[in-house]
Amino acid sequence: MIEIVEKLNLASISVPLIILIVSLWVLIGSVLLPVEKRHFTGIISFFGLIASLLYLWGIKDADITGFGNAVSLNGFSIFLWFIILAITLSVISVSQRFVEDAEIQQGEYNFFLLIATTGLLFIVASQDLIMIFISLEILSLSVYILAGIRRTSAGAESALKYFILGSLGAGMLVMGIALIYGSTGTVNISMLKILLQRVDKTPVLLAGIIFVVSGLAFKVALVPFHMWVPDVYEGSPTPVSGFMAGGVKAGGVIALLRVFNALPFEPYSELFWWLSAITMITGNLMALPQTSIKRILAYSSVAHAGYMMIGFLGGESGAGAVIFYIIVYAASTMGAFFVVMLLERMETGTTLEDIAGLSKRHPYLSAVMAVFLFSLAGIPPLAGFFGKFYIFASAVAQGYTGLVIIGVIMSVVSLYYYLRIIVAMYMEETVIELIPREYKSVRFVVFILMLISILFGLLSDPVISSARAVVKYLM
């Protein structure tokens, strides 16, 4: 028995284990604590996350594998664990008061958020397809619940839609894995990388690969697998939408990146070329006519997944650029969602009309929101520009100039809908006197995210260097 445990090498999953234990404490707390003291679950989660970040700092040079090569703890997973824990930490910190005011079960909320985080942590560390599938499902199932945790009709609709389409994606993914396993006899990604170069391209194998890519494309919300995004992002509680746009998307992108790297470059790169192009074009064009800010941000998150796909084609430096992009994109998009959260009325969300003339009454909030939006649009000197720049540069280096031209033109298109929000805040007259929520913790988190959105670009040298260093483990 002890031998088996030793073989498993539990140290390789130490951080997800810590989060799992914290989440169990939260669960117990949410049952045992009286209703008025349930905010302790938030405090437990917060300090649990802080503790695991500190622990992660302590083991930052580790390089071990466990569970029969299914999980690996190396520079790459550690770097991404930092990002994921930071994302969850910010979501947990901004949610507590909001959850209380929205009359959401606080204990359950924190529990599922932590479980989702565990799933995310596993995804980035997984070394085989089964592990990716399982961790994606851990993540997805908890996010389905989070999407509908507010028991309104919009929440229920969003959860159901997400669940049905997400299950379809999961079904495709597992089907694809089965087909690949049937043709090659392995699910280990590094083994696959070698085998796929050698085995014949049978229709079964091809179908398996297409299924796996489509299944993951569902999770990342690449066009044409994006239909659930706007409704789900709109119907979910806003901090959860932020978590989906920042965290869940990051997990999906990393899983897809792993699969992409295992595939032979030809002919699959062409598949990703097209996925990227139609995702950018559709996402950006669909965002243009929206009037709800959450829907605009939802479509923008679709479009940004398209930009990240460009980086896939950029080889090793492209992968590094994608990691960097995940950081700056998560900071800006979550920041934007959090500002929306401060402004929205509980039931209806926020429309462009609601924020008209906001800058007159709330100059700070509008300025912060403008920073996030300009960063998402990729205007220098903000971090979003550098994210796009590194991705585009890596793709141009590999000769994908055509795709990059589509990318830059679509960024100009995206500018239009981001500007619409800024126009409403700065240049239109007030229609409705919105009273933003006075959550101190949110203001603090939003301020940090703003600093990241401003400074990570100009001072990006250390970040991009370490992102490029850690992707060596992927290759």
Residue 454 within binding range of another protein, rule CB under 8 A: no
Least CB distance from residue 355 to another protein, whole Å? 15
Site string for another protein, 378-417 (x = CB under 8 A): -xxx---x---x--xx--xx---x--xx--xx-xx--xx-
Alpha helices in 148-248 (DSSP H): 153-184, 189-198, 203-220, 229-235, 238-243
Burial class of residue 210, CB neighbours in 10 A (0-12, 13-18, 19+): middle
Q: Would you say 245 or 319 has its CB closer to another protein?
A: 319
Binding string, residues 325-364; x marks residues near another protein by CB under 8 A:
----------------------------------xx--x-
Least Å distance between CB 32 and another protein? 48
Nearer to another protein, 203 or 462 (CB): 462
Neighbours of 291 (CB within 10 A): 13
Nearest to 331 by CA among 459, 445, 411: 445
d(CA 303, CA 284): 6
Decide: helix, strand or coil at residue 475: coil
Minimum Å gap between C-beta 205 and another protein is 35
- CB-based burial, 354-392: b 16+ in 10 Å, e otherwise: bbbbbbeebeebbebbbbbbbbbbbeeebbbbbbbbbbb
H or E stretch covering 299? helix 293-312
Instruction: Among 28, 419, 431, 448, indicate the residue that binds another protein (CB under 8 A).
Output: 419
- Give me the 423-442 binding string for another protein, x by CB under 8 A, dash otherwise: x--xxx--------------
Q: How far is the CB of 467 from another protein (least distance, A)?
A: 10
Closer by beta carbon to another protein, 98 or else 386: 386
Q: Is the peptide bond before 224 cis (omega within 30 degrees of 0)?
A: yes
Residue 208 is which amino acid?
G
Please report whether residue 460 would count as binding another protein according to CB under 8 A.
yes
451 binds another protein (CB under 8 A): no
If one asks whether residue 263 binds another protein (CB under 8 A), the answer comes out as: no
Angle between helices 249-262 and 106-125 (to 10 degrees): 20
Cα(56)–Cα(462) distance, integer angstroms: 19
**Binding positions for another protein, rule: CB under 8 A:** 359-360, 363, 374, 379-381, 385, 389, 392-393, 396-397, 401, 404-405, 408-409, 411-412, 415-416, 419, 423, 426-428, 460-461, 464-465, 468
